[in-house]
């Protein structure tokens, strides 16, 4: 862990940490990304930046509000910055996330979830909470790997139901079917194409059931 303080932060406006939002930098290098995340003119930041070699840069204290999420909503509420931890992964968006970087992310996430008493469904993609604007961490990110370690969730198929309603139960905001399908597939079926099908609906139903069980303490 290396300290690399950013001036771009504020107070949490009375909110506690409820989410962890994962991003990719879409930049060529970690030093380039760090420079932007620490540039007061850019007015963007994150709590952590993880380089390809696994080096973790601490930019903003977890007690403070970093400026990483932008406009969007999750679980019926906006102002995601005030209630989240933001983690940037050095990646252009067109490359795999390598082993040192994923291992560093897993160690960091385990600590964040423990410190803030967060369940695995609290770890979401930038594209989840801003599906009309963002696509990170993208199709190459291994969400299933995180889920196996209890650091995120992955659904088992269930009897297909109402796709949009099931995704809203998970946390997605109201949006068109096309927008929800694109965001869902980016995370859970990144290589699928065409209209929503029974596989999408079965996975969405399984995700809904999983999240409901987690909320009830059954999983």
Rounded CA separation 210/212 (Å): 5
φ, ψ dihedrals at 9, nearest 5°: -160, 170
Q: What does the pLDDT look like over 79-124, one tens digit per residue? A: 999 999 999 999 999 999 999 999 999 999 999 999 999 999 999 9
Q: Is the domain defined by 2-153 classed in CATH 3.40.50.1220?
A: no
**Overall pTM > 0.85:** yes
Q: What does the pLDDT look like over 34-49, one tens digit per residue? A: 999 999 999 999 999 9
Count other C-beta atoms under 10 Å from residue 21's C-beta. 31
48 near 57, Cβ under 8 Å? Answer: yes
Radius of gyration of the chain (CA): 17
List, in sequence order, every residue forming a beta bridge with 10; answer none if it has no partner: 65
Domain range list for the chain: 2-153, 155-219
HSE, side-chain direction, 13 A CA sphere, residue 117:
1
Active site residue 132: no
Q: Which of 43, 88, 106, 178 is catalytic?
A: 88
For each of the chain's 219 residues, which pLDDT tens digit applies? 999 999 999 999 999 999 999 999 999 999 999 999 999 999 999 999 999 999 999 999 999 999 999 999 999 999 999 999 999 999 999 999 999 999 999 999 999 999 999 999 999 999 999 999 999 999 999 999 999 999 999 999 999 999 999 999 999 999 999 999 999 999 999 999 999 999 999 999 999 998 776 665 655
């Amino acid at each position: 862990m290396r300290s690399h303080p950013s001036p771009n932060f504020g107070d949490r406006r009375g909110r506690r940490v409820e989410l962890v939002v994962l991003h990719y930098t879409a930049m060529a290098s970690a030093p380039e990304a760090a420079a932007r995340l620490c540039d007061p003119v850019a007015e963007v930041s994150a709590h952590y930046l993880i380089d390809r070699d696994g080096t973790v840069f601490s930019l903003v204290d977890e007690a403070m509000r970093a400026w990483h999420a932008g406009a969007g909503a999750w679980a019926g509420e906006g102002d995601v910055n005030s209630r989240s931890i933001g983690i940037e992964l050095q990646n252009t968006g067109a490359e795999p996330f390598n082993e040192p970087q994923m291992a560093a992310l897993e160690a960091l996430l385990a600590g964040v979830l423990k410190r803030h008493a967060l369940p695995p469904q609290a770890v979401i993609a930038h594209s989840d909470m801003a599906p009309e604007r963002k696509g990170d961490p993208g199709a190459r990110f291994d969400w299933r790997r995180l889920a196996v370690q209890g650091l995120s969730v992955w659904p088992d198929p269930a009897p297909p139901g109402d796709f949009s309603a099931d995704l809203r139960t998970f946390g997605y905001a109201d949006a068109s079917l096309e927008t929800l399908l694109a965001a869902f597939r980016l995370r859970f079926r990144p290589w699928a194409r065409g209209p929503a099908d029974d596989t999408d609906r079965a996975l969405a139903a399984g995700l809904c059931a999983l999240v409901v069980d987690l909320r009830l303490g059954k999983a």
